[in-house]
Amino acid sequence: MSVESTSIKPKWQQICEAIQEKQERLKKAVPEAWRVEADASITNPRIYLEADKVGHILSNDELAITKCDAVEILSEIHSGKVTSEFVTTAFCKRAAVAYAVTNPLCEIFFDEGIARAKELDKYLKETGKVVGPLHGLPISVKDHIDVQGKDTNMGLTAWYGNVAEQHAASVKILYDAGAVLYCKTSMPQAGMANETVSPIHGTTKCAYSTLLTSGGSSGGEGSLIGMFGSPMGVGTDIAGSIRSPASYNGIYGFKPSERRLPLLGERTTDSGNVGILVSLGPIARSLRGCELFMRIILNAEPWNVDPSVLRMPWRFNEEKMPEKLTIGVVRWDHFVMPHPPISRALDIAVDTLRKAGHEVIEWEAKEHGLPSGDVILPLFYPNGARHVFDLIDGMGEPWIGPIRRGMKDNPVVQKLRESNQIEDYWNAVVARDQFRVDYAQRWNDSAKLTASGRKLDAIISPTATSVSFPHDFNRWSGYTHIWNLLDYPTSVVGVTHADSKVDTWDYQPDRNNERDVANWEIYKDPSLYDGCPVAISISGRTGEDEKTLKMTMMIDDLLKRAGHGLKK
C-alpha cells in the first residue's frame, strides 16, 4: 500500500487496522481448547450454558461453581473446598464462551488472572490466612474504569491505545481485598447509550437472545454475568447504565446515590460536568453480592483517596427496617406505555407485597415522562456534546445509531451546541434542584395518602418499557434516568419471564407520540421476547442506599417464597 493511499484514509480507518490486530490478539488470548464456534442460526445464548454444548470445555464441577454467587464462591475458597485457580479458570472458560456468543469482552487477560489466583492459593496454603475478604474471587471491570496496563477507550477510536498506568480507586480497593482481575467488558461508543456497540468492539448481545440488546452502557458486564462469565462486575450508571443491563440479562444491579463510591480513575468524555454525576456500582448474580461490593469498597474509606466521596461508612447491618413497608407503585409515566410483561411483573410484585401485609399505593408519575427529559438533557450535554463531536468527528469515525440519535441528530442537543452559554447550564442546574425539591415534597406528602399515615419507604416501577429491545432501537430512557435526575438509589430485581401466550396487548398508542408508537410497534411479535427476564426497579430516597438495598432483598425474598423470581 502506498503512502498516498494511506494518507487519504480517515484517521479511524487507519486505527482500525491496529484494532483488527488487537481483535486477533484477543482471539488468541482464548486457549484453543476453550473456543466455541457460535452458530448464527441459534438466537438463544442460554443453549451455550449447559454441558451438551460446552461440556467439552467445562467439567460438571466448573459448570456448577460458575452458577454460584460471589458470597458462596468466597465461602468455598476460604474454607479450602475449592481453589481460586479452579474458580478463576472456570470463569475464564465461561467468559471465553460468552465472547464467542454474545461478545461482551474488550480486554482478555485470562493468563494473568489464573497466575494471580495461583499466588493467592499459595498464600492461603502457606499461611492459613486470606489476603482480604475477596481473596480469590474473579471480578470483571467495565471498559472505562482503569485497570493497570489495560486499554481504556470507551469504544472511541480516538482513545484506542489509552493504556492505564494504575488501577482506578475502586479497582485497587477490590484488588487489595483479594479480587482476581481477568477481563474488561465492552461499552458503547462514548457511553450514554442503551445499546452496547462501537466501531472498536462491535455489538454486544443479550444473554437471553442475540436478537436483542444487552443494554448499556454497562452492557458488556450485563451480558457477561448473564452468561455466567463473572460472578460480580464493576459498572457505572448515569441514566440506567447498571440497571438496564442487569434487567435485560436476568441479574441484579444497584445504582447508589451520587458520591457514595469513588470515581477516581473512571474515564469520561465530559470531565468537569457535575449536572448529573455518574454512580459507580455493582452488577452481580445476587443482591448479597451487591451488598458485599458496597461493603468492601466503603469499609476501605475511599474518601481518603477520592475526596469527592461522601464520608459515609456502610451501615447496612445497622439499618433498621419497618415491620411493614409502605410502597408506591408507578405503572407508567404517561409518555411511553410499558409492554405487557412489565405490567404483569408489577402486578405480581404488588400482589406479593400486599399478601405479605405490606401497604402498596398507586403513585402517579407524570413528571417521570417528558418533564424529566426536558430537565435532564441540558444537564447531560450543557455544551451540546461538543466534547463527543471533537472525539468522533475529529477521527472521521462513524456515529453508532443510539449516539447519533441521542446527540448528533437531537434538536435539543443541537440547540445547546449552537448556544453554548454558561447561563443555560446554570438554569439547567436550577431546574434540576427545583425538580428534586418538588419531588421531595411529594414524597413527604405521601403520608396523607397511606392508610398507615407513614411516608413511602420506596417506589417500585418499570426499569424500561420492554424486557429488552431489538438492536439499534431508539429506547425511551425515562424509566431509568428519572432516578438519576432525583439522585435516588435504585436496584433491579427479576420477577418473572416473558410469555407471549399470557402477555397479550390491546393497547393503542398515541399516534402523535413517536416514542409511544415505536415502542408499540416492536411488540407486534411478542414471541420475540419469550423467556426473557422481566425485572422491576426499587428506589429509595437520596442517601438511603442501605435501606434501599435491604428493602430490595426483602422483596426479592418474598417473590421467591411465593414461587416467582427468575430461573437460573
Known catalytic residues?
A: 142, 217, 241
Cα–Cα distance between 315 and 313 in angstroms, integer?
6
Sign of CA dihedral 72, 74, 77, 80: negative
Cell of 247: 434487567
The residue among 411, 524, 475, 393 whose CA lies nearest residue 196 is 475
Bridge partners (DSSP) of residue 180 are: 138
**CA–CA separation, 488 and 543 (whole Å):** 8
Q: Give the residue ranges of DSSP H helices in 228-306.
A: 243-248, 287-299
DSSP string over 283-297: EESSHHHHHHHHHHH
How many residues does this entry show for the chain? 568
Q: For residues 487 and 237, give the distance between their C-alpha atoms in angstroms, rounded to a whole number.
A: 11
**Whole-number Å distance between alpha carbons of 103 and 188:** 12
Region at 139 (left for phi over 0; alpha for psi -120 to 50; beta for the rest)? beta
Question: Which DSSP letter does residue 406 get?
Answer: I
Cβ(105)–Cβ(91) below 8 Å: no
3-state per-residue secondary structure call for 34-50: HCCCCCCCCCCHHHHHC
Nearest alpha-carbon partner for 239 in 105, 373, 113, 136? 373
Cβ proximity of 222 and 248 under 8 Å = yes
* Nearest alpha carbon to residue 478 among 338, 328, 403, 368: 368
